[in-house]
Structure 1
Amino acid sequence: MHYAPIHRLLGLLGLLGVAQPGLAQDNLLRDLEQQTTDSLQRQPVAATFKGTRVVNGHSVETPGAGTLIFLISHRFGTLNSGAYNFFGLDQATIRLGLEYGLTDRLTVGVGRSSLEKTFDGFLKYRALRQSTGRAASPVSVTLLSATALTSLRYADEGFDHSFPRRLTYTWQALVARKINSSLSLQLSPTVVHRNLVDAEADDNDVYALGFAGRQKLTKRLAFTLEYYYRLPNSRASGLRDALAAGIDIETGGHVFQLHVTNSKGMIEPLFVPRTSGDFFKGDIYFGFNVARNFTLQPADSFR
């Protein structure tokens, strides 16, 4: 009689032992199902490029909503200008720019270049973002529309230099893919329209195809390359395709871009149709871009 409670206790433990494997199996199946569901969810690919510029040209990247980027772009003179000009360091061209994310997709930007005293503005829209998972997108696509105005004073040579004639327009479709965690590639079909050209034989419309790449070297260093090929009907004599190579350095809220290029201009109307330097004969401008990000509004305020 005294052993009945013990028998009951042993029976209860036996039932628990039988039920425990079934419970563990249910938990395992639930975890596997959750992992499968998570893997099928669409996930955007981040940091195809680390800045909104590759070197001279735009990248597919846009600042987040409420983020302001202050961009300083600088070019020295050519390396083959000789010791008298300290191999180009005595000369300088600069552009100051601001870029603001109205949303995560839409950016507005303005800038001013010392070259030809040029003002520029642009709208940049992230139409498609590379992603993984269900209904994944293999590439990112960003659309760019820009306008520039030269305020340079011209000598009175009988030409019409009125306000409309000083305007240029640029349209681009930036298509990029992050191949893996280290390599990103971009293709940039480009059209530049100029209301006023340098010579009568020059075309007002210039068509080009931009190629760009970024190869990550370390956690904070990356090599970048950029080339704009002018299509056969846009190859004015005496001018060359824009070529640039550089190193990106990430330091917290800053991105430093050190580079060499055969182009003195730092916006599309100045470097796509008007690059005259021969990179392989020493017409190389050393320069840098410095970008600083400021969060003006928290992301929650845009939801």
Structure 2
Amino acid sequence: MNKFLLTFVFLASSMLCFSQDDLLDILDKETVTNDKDNIVTSTFKGTRILNGHSVENRKAKQLEFIISHRFGRINSGFDDLFGLDESNIRFSLEYGFTDNLTGGFGRSSFEKTYDMFLKYSLFKQRTGDNSFPFAISLFGSVAAKTLEEPFPLVQRSFSENLSYVGQVLIARKVSKSFSYQVSPTYIHRNTVTIAEDPHDIFALGFGARIKLSNRVSLNGEYYHQFNESVSINTKNALGFGVDIETGGHVFQLILSNAITMIEKSFIAETTGDFFGGDIHLGFNISRTF
């Protein structure tokens, strides 16, 4: 609950410090289509669909600060205040080196994990004579788990705690109101819990955005694993959320069966059953400078 309160204190203070026009100016600039090259922009409003990355990058020399928060299971009952007593939080900074290259660094309370990534825009969706139907970005990340394992009692080296993710993000803006994305994903974990668990996991992600108004959109996201760990009863990650632009920030309100926010974890290690009530309330708050 302390983390929950601190997050909203940050939010309240930021809303006093920054005008709404700051964010809207940035969003307006990103929404304009480059008429010269007929480039389709703003396929998604932000760099995340929900848990996973979207095809979007930050603009050159823009710095984005993101707070991501996930609470415990809603079906945990009143004793845990329907999940609010439990929380997982991630802070991250993301910077646009160029209009096509974004890098980021983050730290999650879950397993005390540090992660960093690069995302590069390979192709833009275009209209006109030189039309191209999709926007394609390449994403790569590395994560280091620093929480010591209680069992088995084996001292791990730094490299043994590393995991890697590679994705091809393929998106299309069908209309002003609807966009979708397909994300072939490869995950490698240097260390697994038991020998039967795969070091390499392949998954396919699906995401979509429906724009409800100028300030509100409905998002959905699903990742299907083609091979799974056997030491834990993993489930495919599923989530729904709402994007809201207000007060100089972009809010994402999320319902998901995943409590983690980095690809290695929410794609390959989610154990909650969404339709069984294992739903985590969460949110992402971003501020672009």
Scaled to the shorter chain, the TM-score interval is: 0.7 to 0.9
Query: 1:169 — aligned with what?
Result: 164
The answer on 1:279 being equivalent to 2:274 is: yes
2:65 corresponding residue in structure 1: 70
CA distance, structure 1, for counterparts of residue 113 and residue 159 of structure 2: 14
- Quote the residue 1:152 is aligned against: 147
> Would the alpha carbon gap of residues 203 and 192 (structure 1) be closer, same or farther in structure 2, given more than 3 Å must change?
same
Q: 1:280 aligns to what SS in structure 2?
A: helix
Q: CA RMSD in A?
A: 1.6
- In the alignment, the residues of structure 2 paired with residue 185 and residue 157 of structure 1 have an alpha-carbon distance, to the nearest angstrom, of 42
Query: Which residues of structure 2 form unaligned runs of 5+?
Result: 1-33
3-state DSSP class of the match of 1:196? coil
**Do 2:198 and 2:229's aligned partners in 1 also have CA atoms closer than 8 Å?**
no
Cα 1:229/1:157, change in 2 over 3 Å: closer
Output one character per residue of 1:16-55: Cα deviation in whole Å (capped at 9) or x when no partner: xxxxxxxxxxxxxxxxxxxxxxx99531111100010011
AA at the equivalent of 1:116: E
2:88 is aligned to 93
**How far is the alpha carbon of 1:201 from its aligned partner?**
1.3
User: Which residue identity does 1:64 align to in structure 2?
Assistant: K
Deviations 1:58-104 (A, max 9, x none): 00000000000101000011001110000001111100011000000
Which of residues 18, 40, 43 is equivalent to 1:45?
40
1:290 aligns with 2:285: yes
Structure with the greater alpha carbon radius of gyration: 1
Distance 1:264 1:164, change over 3 A: same
The total of aligned residue pairs comes to 255
Task: Verify: 1:185 aligned to 2:167, yes or no.
Answer: no
Q: 1:222 aligns with which of 217, 224, 231?
A: 217
Preserved CA contact (<8 Å) 2:228 2:234: no
Task: Show the counterpart of 1:300.
Answer: none
Bigger Cα displacement from structure 2, 111-120 vs 245-254: 245-254
Query: Counterpart amino acid of 1:60?
Result: V
Q: Is the partner of 1:132 in helix, strand or coil?
A: coil
Q: Which is worse superposed, 132-141 or 150-159?
A: 150-159
Pair 1:101–1:275, CA change in 2 (3 A): same
CA deviation digits over 1:174-213, x for unaligned, max 9? Answer: 0000000000000000001001112221100010000000
Structure 1 runs of 4+ with >6 Å offset = none
Q: How does 1:119-268 map to 2 (within 5 A)?
A: 119-155=114-150, 157-231=152-226, 233-234=227-228, 236=230, 238-251=233-246, 253-268=248-263
For the residue of structure 1 that corresponds to 2:149, the secondary structure is coil
1:254 CA drift (Å) = 1.5
Q: What SS does the corresponding residue of 1:131 show, helix, strand or coil?
A: coil
Distance 1:266 1:130, change over 3 A: same
- Deviation track 1:238-291 (CA, whole Å, cap 9, x = no partner) reads 110000000000126421000100011100011111000000111000000001
Q: Runs of 5+ in structure 1 lacking a partner? A: 1-38, 295-303
Q: Which moved more, 1:112-121 or 1:150-159?
A: 150-159
Cα distance in 2, alignment partners of residues 263 and 40 from structure 1: 40
Structure 1 residue 128, shift from structure 2 partner: 0.8
Q: Structure 2 CA distance, aligned partners of 1:283 and 1:192?
A: 24
Contact 1:191 1:206 in 2 (8 A): yes
